[in-house]
Every structure is written in C-alpha cells, then in structure tokens.
Amino acid sequence: MADTGKLAAVALIPARSGSVRVPHKNIRPLAGHPLIAYAIAAAKASGVFDAVVVSTDSEIYARVARHYGAEVPFLRKAGIAGSTSPDIEWVLHALDALKAEGRSFDAFSILRPTSPFRKPETIQRAWAAFTGAEGADSLRAIEPVEQHPGKMWLVDGERMTPLLPEALQHSPPWHSQQKAALPKVYVQNASLEIAWTDMAVRTGSIAGTSIVPFFTEGDEGVDINGPQDWWYAEHLISTGEARLPAVDQPPYLGPFDTAP
C-alpha cells in the first residue's frame, strides 16, 4: 500500500493504439525502453499510488505495460479508444471496472506516456499541492505559452477579428503591444492531472470547476506528439539537457511494430 495517509490514489496511464503521426508511439522505444515504461516507472517510484493501471485497447500494449510492472486488468472498448474520444469516457470505464473488482479510490491521476520526462518527484510535488488545496476539484499541469493568444485572430472571409475580444479593450490593443507587456498566459501540457474520483463520477468531468495550477519545471512538461517532438526528445537525452526517470526493468524484447 502506498503511503498516502487515509487517501487511496490510482495512477491511470492511457495508451490507445491508434496514434497516427507517430504510429504506436506509446510503445516505441526511446533510450532503450518503450515510451510507456517511463510513465509506469515514475508512477511506481513516486510512492503516491496504491495502484498503477494502464488503459489500452491493445493486448500487445498490455503485455508491454505488465512487463514494466503496471496492471492491465481490462482492455478499453473500441468505442472509447478513438482519436476524438474524450478522456472522461475511458477514465470512468477504468474506475467502474476497478470498482467492480471491489477496488475504490479517493483520487486518480492521469499520467500520459507522451510526457516521458515527468519524474517521481514531479508527481510527489503535484500530489502535495493537490491534497493541500482546500476545495479543489482537480489539478492540471501548465506552462507559459510560446504564442500569446492576445496576438491571435479569427478570419471571416476577407476580414479578421481578435480571438480574445478583451484585446480591443486596451490601449493600444494587445495585438499592437510587445509580448512582455501582455498578461501572463499559460497552456496545459500532458505531464499530469489529478482529480477526486467522486467529483468525476458526479459531474462527468475530469477537471471540475475549481482547478489548481501545477507549474511544470524544466523538462517535466515536454510532450511528444509528432515526429519532430520525438527528434527533440532524443536530442535532449543525447545532450544531457533532459533526464528520464529510472526504469528498474530490463528492456522489453517483444514486438513493437505491430498491434491490433
């Protein structure tokens, strides 16, 4: 049992098999291990969770996840494993399946394999922030935006208007100001989310309305979605600019290039 006091927490790692830009990226090897191995390793080493569960629609992915010490007590249904399937669907599916086995959790955390530089200490820091925040529904990882929405536009035919109407309420308007003069804006990244289970079940939302910001540091928020992101991750590793969590299992030697 993890040392979480009176709270029981489960790590939920989503790993559907239908990635298009980087086929089967969740089990593609990075620095000797499949991508998913680093999410599992960080979750286990954090000491926060009573269970580390992978939600996947692929038996091959399940085999890889089990090799690295995660549970895969069920496979995700095809109807909730598409590229447009909302997170709440597979989260509730996982929580319901676990509850049917007599396993209930006070809180859950979503740890996506596409953030391999998330460390055990990242999770520990987020857990402390979440459990110490009074009245919070959830916590979500964020980082400063590169492109400020105050300089973004909506195009309608031959004219355009600012994406943010309040941009015009300032003098000069935001799109005519230096970025340094604009309000600080943050974008969510895929590093982690934490939420109360009863809130998700009751509201049908993984976030709720009272959301704690979690500011990722350094490489923690690096997210891999496309081929260029994969190249960047490999570059960070080779130059020592980023550090992967330690994996305590030997490399998985099974098939990576095909999956149902």
Residues 167 and 83 in one domain: no
Token pair in block for residue 217: 């540091």
Residues 159 and 194 in one domain: no
CATH of residue 108's domain is 3.90.550.10
Residues 128 and 169 in one domain: no
Residues 45 and 174 in one domain: no
Residues 105 and 233 in one domain: yes
Residues 36 and 157 in one domain: no
Identify the pLDDT of residue 19: 78
Task: Decide if 202 is inside a domain.
Answer: yes
Residues of the chain with pLDDT under 70: 1-5, 255-260
Task: Decide if 127 is inside a domain.
Answer: yes
Judged by DSSP in three states, 257 sits in coil
Question: In this structure, are residues 148 and 222 in contact, taking their beta carbons and an 8 Å threshold?
Answer: no
If you count them, how many residues does the chain have? 260
* Overall number of domains in the chain: 2
Identify the pLDDT of residue 257: 53
Residues 135 and 169 in one domain: no
Residues 15 and 107 in one domain: yes
Residues 137 and 168 in one domain: no
Residues 201 and 221 in one domain: yes
Task: Decide if 81 is inside a domain.
Answer: yes
Q: Which of 132, 163, 181 corresponds to the end of one domain?
A: 181
Token pair in block for residue 50: 């009573």
∠ CA 95-25-196, nearest 5°, is: 25
Residues 63 and 158 in one domain: no
* pLDDT, tens digit, 9 for 90 and up, residues 15-26: 999 777 888 999
Contacts 24+ apart (CB under 8 A), 76-85: 76/16, 81/16, 81/17, 81/18, 81/57, 82/16, 82/18, 83/18, 83/20, 85/16
pTM of the prediction? 0.92
Task: Decide if 257 is inside a domain.
Answer: no
Please say whether the dihedral angle defined by the alpha carbons of residues 233, 141, 248 and 241, taken in this order, is positive or negative.
positive
Task: Decide if 258 is inside a domain.
Answer: no
Residues 77 and 126 in one domain: yes
Domain interval for residue 174: 149-181
Q: Which of 8, 4, 28 is nearest to 229 (CA)?
A: 28
